[in-house]
Structure 1
Amino acid sequence: MSPAVARARRATLISLLALALVAPVLLAAARWPSYWEWVAPELTPMTWLQTVLLVLAAAACLLIVLLASLHGHGRADRATWWFLAAGFGYLAIDDRFALHERVRDSVLAPRGIGIPGLSWLAPGDIQMVLMGLVGLALLPVILRAFGSDRAARTLLLLGGVAAACSIGIDTIDPASLTVTAERLQQSLEECVELLAVCLLLAATSFRLLGLLDSVGSDQPAQAVETGEPVEAMSG
Structure 2
Amino acid sequence: MSPRRGRLIVLLTAVWVLVPTALAAARRPEWWTWIAPELTPMTWVQTVVLMLAAAGSLLVGTVLRRTGAPRTWVWPVLGAGFLALAVDDRFALHERVRDGYLAPRGITVPFLPWVAPGDFLIMGVAVAGLAFLPAVWRAVRVDAWSRSALAVGVLLAVAAVGLDSVDPHTWSTAGERLQQSFEEVLELGSGLALFGAVALRLMGLLAIHVRPAAAPSAAPPVEEPARP
Provide the TM-score with structure 2 as the length reference. Answer: 0.91
1:11, CA displacement in angstroms?
0.8
1:131, CA displacement in angstroms?
1.1
Q: Which residue of 2 aligns with 1:21?
A: 17
Q: Structure 1 residue aligned with 2:192, among 182, 192, 198?
A: 198
Report Cα offsets for 1:193-212 as digits up to 9, x if no partner.
Answer: 11111111111100010111
Query: 115-124 vs 162-171, which deviates more?
Result: 115-124
Q: Which residue of 2 aligns with 1:171?
A: 165
Q: Which residue of 2 aligns with 1:115?
A: 109
Q: Which residue of 2 aligns with 1:38?
A: 34
Report Cα offsets for 1:77-113 as digits up to 9, x if no partner.
Answer: 2211011100110111111100010011112212322
Q: Secondary structure at the match of 2:104?
A: helix
Q: Structure 2 residue aligned with 1:153, among 124, 144, 147?
A: 147
Contact 1:9 1:205 in 2 (8 A): no
Q: Structure 1 residue aligned with 2:210, among 209, 216, 228?
A: 216
1:9, CA displacement in angstroms?
1.2
2:61 equivalent to 1:65: yes
Letter in 1 for 2:77: F
2:128 equivalent to 1:134: yes
Q: Which residue of 1 aligns with 2:52?
A: 56
Q: Which residue of 2 aligns with 1:187?
A: 181
CA distance in 2, matches of 1:231, 1:23: 41
1:134, CA displacement in angstroms?
1.3
1:163, CA displacement in angstroms?
0.3
1:231, CA displacement in angstroms?
5.4
Q: Which residue of 2 aligns with 1:8?
A: 4
Letter in 1 for 2:11: S
CA distance in 1, matches of 2:148, 2:18: 23
- Runs of 5+ unmatched residues, structure 2: 217-228
Report Cα offsets for 1:24-61 as digits up to 9, x if no partner.
Answer: 01100100110100000001000000001111110101
Letter in 2 for 1:68: L
CA distance in 1, matches of 2:101, 2:69: 42
Q: Structure 1 residue aligned with 2:87, among 87, 90, 93?
A: 93
CA distance in 2, matches of 1:213, 1:116: 51
Letter in 2 for 1:70: R
Query: 114-123 vs 41-50, which deviates more?
Result: 114-123
CA distance in 2, matches of 1:99, 1:141: 27
The CA RMSD measured in Å over matched residues stands at 1.5
- Runs of 5+ unmatched residues, structure 1: 221-229
CA distance in 1, matches of 2:136, 2:121: 21
Letter in 2 for 1:91: L
**Greater gyration radius:** 2
CA distance in 2, matches of 1:91, 1:162: 15
